[in-house]
A = this chain, B = another copy of it.
């Protein structure tokens, strides 16, 4: 086994701190916005201005969605252990799994696998994307799983985040094959599924992250980084204007004992 541990991230010595081989204090602090640094540290290359705008829009889109289960978990944890803010933040991220933030990853994976299956000579024109989308959707017929990126419990007539991501990607000329394929899924699915669903924000964010070059699991990772800021915002709000005790009592005082032997 090697006796050294390889990394391209942070290193330091007596006089300097380096990050990705750059001088942290001379080249990065004050020069690179935090969002761009997050992209850079994962991709190992700095985003172009256009990529940065799309990437920041994705993080902004994913940062908060109100009283989600993960936010409730974070607030309950803070109410119980107010001195351990790292515990409350972690509790707020641990729900970032298959049902909530997982859509971002699932959409990225569904689209990436679809494109990989299409081979090196993949789709170029809208018609090619439509054909590929039809093929992918038909392959899931009979399968009861939802199509990643389609449908939303609230925004049934259209998720307002979706057109904005497409507009920014076009303006910045960074719209790639994953977003193109997801748009095609949006166009052709009514003829195959027999009903019209919106392209959801989590899915379009996953497609955008895939077009920016990130693997599916990392797409979920960025959703978690964005959500870390949102969870901190809820923690700060819980400190200013708490709901923790109110919520705990709403549950505890309405507990109904169910005799397990009589069920």
Give chain B nearest CB distance to A68 CB in angstroms. 7
With both beta carbons as reference points, the residue of chain B lying nearest to A95 in the complex is identified as B80
A217 engages B85 (CB within 8 Å): yes
A interface size (C-beta, 8 A): 128
A183 contacts chain B at the CB level, 8 A cutoff = no
A258 engages B81 (CB within 8 Å): no
Give chain B nearest CB distance to A6 CB in angstroms. 5
B95 engages A42 (CB within 8 Å): no
B84 engages A42 (CB within 8 Å): no
Q: Which residues of chain B come closer than 8 Å to A66, judged between CB atoms?
A: 7, 9-12, 252, 255
A143 contacts chain B at the CB level, 8 A cutoff = no
Query: In chain A between 40 and 71, which residues have their CB closer than 8 angstroms to a CB of chain B?
Result: 41-42, 44, 53, 56-57, 59-61, 63-70
Q: Chain A 217-255 against B: per-residue CB contact (8 Å), 1 yes, 0 no? A: 110111011101110111111010101101111111011
Tell me whether A233 and B9 are in contact in the complex, defined as CB-CB below 8 angstroms, given that A25-B161, A76-B70, A89-B224 are known contacts: yes
Q: Chain A 1-36 against B: per-residue CB contact (8 Å), 1 yes, 0 no? A: 111111111111111111111011110111011110
Choose among B23, B77, B235 the residue that contacts A69 (Cβ–Cβ < 8 A): B77
Tell me the complex Cα distance, A93–B32, Å.
23
Number of identical monomers bound together in the oligomeric complex: 4
Q: Which residues of chain B come closer than 8 Å to A241, judged between CB atoms?
A: 6, 258
Q: Which residues of chain B come closer than 8 Å to A154, judged between CB atoms?
A: 12-14
A97-105, A108-116, A126-134, A189-197 - the one binding chain B: A97-105
A185 contacts chain B at the CB level, 8 A cutoff = no
Choose among B35, B220, B244 the residue that contacts A85 (Cβ–Cβ < 8 A): B220
Q: Which residues of chain B come closer than 8 Å to A3, judged between CB atoms?
A: 254
Tell me the complex Cα distance, A94–B80, Å.
9
Tell me the complex Cα distance, A234–B255, Å.
13
Choose among B74, B85, B257 the residue that contacts A7 (Cβ–Cβ < 8 A): B257
Q: A10-B65, A73-B91, A86-B87 are in contact. List 9 more A-B contacts (CB 8 A).
A: A8-B237, A15-B160, A24-B160, A37-B63, A83-B98, A84-B94, A89-B224, A225-B232, A243-B251
> Residues of A at under 8 Å CB distance from B?
1-21, 23-26, 28-30, 32-35, 37-38, 41-42, 44, 53, 56-57, 59-61, 63-70, 72-74, 76-77, 79-91, 93-102, 154-158, 160-161, 163-165, 167-168, 201, 215, 217-218, 220-222, 224-226, 228-230, 232-237, 239, 241, 243-244, 246-252, 254-260
